[in-house]
Amino acid sequence: MNFMKILTRDQILQVDDLKYEEVEIPEWGEGCGVRVRTMTAVERDQLVNAAFADGERNAENFRARLCALCVVDEAGKNLFSFNDARALGRKSTISMERIAEVALRLSGLGVVALEDTKKNYSDSPSDVSVSVSA
C-alpha cells in the first residue's frame, strides 16, 4: 500500500516551504535583529556560482553574500540585493556570522556541505554539487 500523497504541479508551486527565523544582533543595539529566510534554489545556485566565478574558488565575502540573500523583511522580501554584499562585508564579522549560521542551518547547508562543494568542484561552476544535510 502507498500512503504517500502525490502532489500536482499546482499544489507543489503553492506550497510555502521557506522557513524563517529571527536573529538577535546585539552589536547593532539592544533588542535589534533581523529576519533570516531559507535560501531558494535560485539563490543557492547564485551563491555557488559566485563562489566559483571565473573557474576559480572565490570565498571572498562569502558570509556577506549569504546574508544579502537571506535577510528579509516581515513580508519575506529581501532587504538587500546580491550587489549589497560588499557593503554588508564591512559589518562586524560577529554580526555576519550570527546571520550566516542561521541562514546555512535553515537552508540545510553547513560546513560539511561547503567542504563537499570545494571537493566536488571541477572545471566549471555548473559542475558544482552541494550536499544537503538533513
Nearest to 92 by CA among 73, 112, 67: 67
Residue 127 lies in a domain: no
pLDDT at 14 over 80: yes
Residue 132 lies in a domain: no
> Which segments of the chain does DSSP mark as H helices, in order?
9-14, 41-51, 62-70, 85-88, 93-106, 111-120
Strand order in the sheet with 33-37: 20-24, 33-37, 71-72
Q: Check residue 111 and give its pLDDT.
A: 57
Tell me the average pLDDT of the chain.
85
Residue 6 lies in a domain: no
Mean pLDDT of 30-42: 97
Mean pLDDT of 38-53: 91
Q: Could you tell me the residue range of the domain that residue 104 belongs to?
A: 19-119
Q: What is the pTM of this model?
A: 0.77
What CA–CA distance (Å, rounded) separates 62 from 53?
Answer: 12
Q: Give how many domains the chain has, as a whole number.
A: 1
CATH of the domain at 34: 3.30.2220.20
Nearest to 51 by CA among 108, 115, 133: 115
Residue 2 lies in a domain: no
Q: How many CB atoms lie within 10 A of CB 97?
A: 12
Q: Check residue 56 and give its pLDDT.
A: 79
User: What are the pLDDT digits (tens) for 54-113?
Assistant: 777 888 899 999 999 999 999 999 999 989 999 999 999 999 999 999 999 999 987 555
pLDDT at 15 over 70: yes
Residue 134 lies in a domain: no
What CA–CA distance (Å, rounded) separates 28 from 3?
Answer: 49
Residue 46 lies in a domain: yes
